[in-house]
Amino acid sequence: MKEWMGKIRTLSLFSFLVIILSACGKDNLTALVPKGYGAEESFNVILISILVMIFVFIVVMAIYVYVIFKFRQRKGQENHIPKQTEGNKTLEVVWTVIPILLLIIIAVPTIASTYDLADESEKEDSINVNVQGMQFWWNFEYANEEIQTSQELYIPVNERVYLNMLSSDVIHSFWLPSISGKMDVNPDNENTMYIEAYEEGVYWGKCTEFCGDSHSLMDFKVVVVSQEEYDQWVEGMKNTDPEYTAESSTAQEGQEMFANSCISCHAIDASSSNPVVGPNLADFGNRTMVAGIKNYSKEAIVDWIMNPGEIKPGNGMLSAPYLQDNSMEEEDAEKIADFLMELKATDEPVDSVEQFKKDETENNN
Ligand code: CUA
């Protein structure tokens, strides 16, 4: 009786875990619903491996159960020794050849995919983005377009985009499960990969190499848009102006404070010649999220300016002078937020971004 209780308890614990863990998934953050070339290739390899494993499991279990019943000890045969099969060549060959065949079934598509995903033959004619990982955010520099952005990588749908990845501090890892795989981002040797998305939308990416206090918060997004929207966005980014003048009066006051406190680390135009100190804030008004992790709203921006250390412990902004001497009032932060929300590369709303914001608000309500 006691033994059964223990089993039931273990079983209910596992079911509970399954229920909890199933809530962790997001449609745009899972390798199991591939929405891009690399993710699809990986998914097929996963599927083949699982099918082979299920086949092995069923066959082994069937033989196991059969043998238990067939050769069990029967009454009156306590001292019976069954026929020994040691040295049976046929058996030896069979159970050596079958695993080899199974491994070949897994290895052929795996190796093919590995080479395919490392293919750089189209690199020169494609969009090239230099990805820079930093504690705890991402910078994306479009090599040919000569623009840069942070946290949100825009790419056109059904186009191969090549990523050249380096870290400027510790080792990070770029993981974009719905579209492609995962790649280490090292401080000294450049790693490359390409991504190609099949559907417009906003896809979630994460850092998957422990890199410090806020490693688990080092999120980014890949915004997949139509070719037309992409061209508009690039054009808009090229035209972002370092001399931009805010429109509303509160934003103008905010801009003044921004010029005193923030501009030494954060550029407001996308020019790739801006030094990469803090995240580039060009097009900040069209961001999907604040700091990569908070739903986009004025409150979230104010909260970030006032308490960056609580939201992302250990981030670079903590050394900002206004946080050292507590010189920022909440109403100042509100004005800066007004200014930042005006910074837009395109006035046309981007479909994927609008949809993403709507979904996120619904999910959190
Ligand atoms: Cu960067 Cu973890």
Which atom of ligand 1 is least distant from the CA of 133?
1
Extended beta strands in the chain, E state:
127-134, 137-142, 147-150, 152-156, 161-167, 172-175, 182-185, 191-195, 201-207, 219-225, 289-290, 294-295
Look at the block and give the residue holding tokens 């046309």: 348
Q: How many whole angstroms from 175 Cα to the centroid of ligand 1?
A: 10
Structure confidence by residue, pLDDT tens digits, 71-101: 888 888 888 888 888 889 999 999 999 999 9
Quote the mean pLDDT of the chain: 92
* pLDDT of residue 365 exceeding 70: no
Q: How many whole angstroms from 163 Cα to the centroid of ligand 1?
A: 17
Which atom of ligand 1 is least distant from the CA of 172?
1
Q: Could you count the other beta carbons within 10 Å of the beta carbon of residue 164?
A: 16
Q: What share of the chain is helix, strand, coil (3-state, %, to 5)?
A: 45, 20, 35
334 contacts: CB under 8 Å, gap ≥ 6: 250, 254, 298, 302
CATH node for 249-364? 2.60.40.420
Q: How far apart are CA 162 and CA 193, in angstroms?
A: 6
Assign 44 to helix, strand or coil. Answer: helix
Q: How many whole angstroms from 129 Cα to the centroid of ligand 1?
A: 19
Which atom of ligand 1 is least distant from the CA of 211?
2
Q: Is 211 in the pocket of ligand 1 (CB under 6 A)?
A: yes
232 contacts: CB under 8 Å, gap ≥ 6: 346, 348
* pLDDT of residue 20 exceeding 70: no
Structure confidence by residue, pLDDT tens digits, 150-191: 999 999 999 999 999 999 999 999 999 999 989 999 999 999
Residue 236: its pLDDT value, please? Answer: 95
Q: How many CA atoms lie within 13 A of 40 on its CB side?
A: 9
- Rounded to two decimals, what is the model's pTM? 0.87
* pLDDT of residue 22 exceeding 80: no
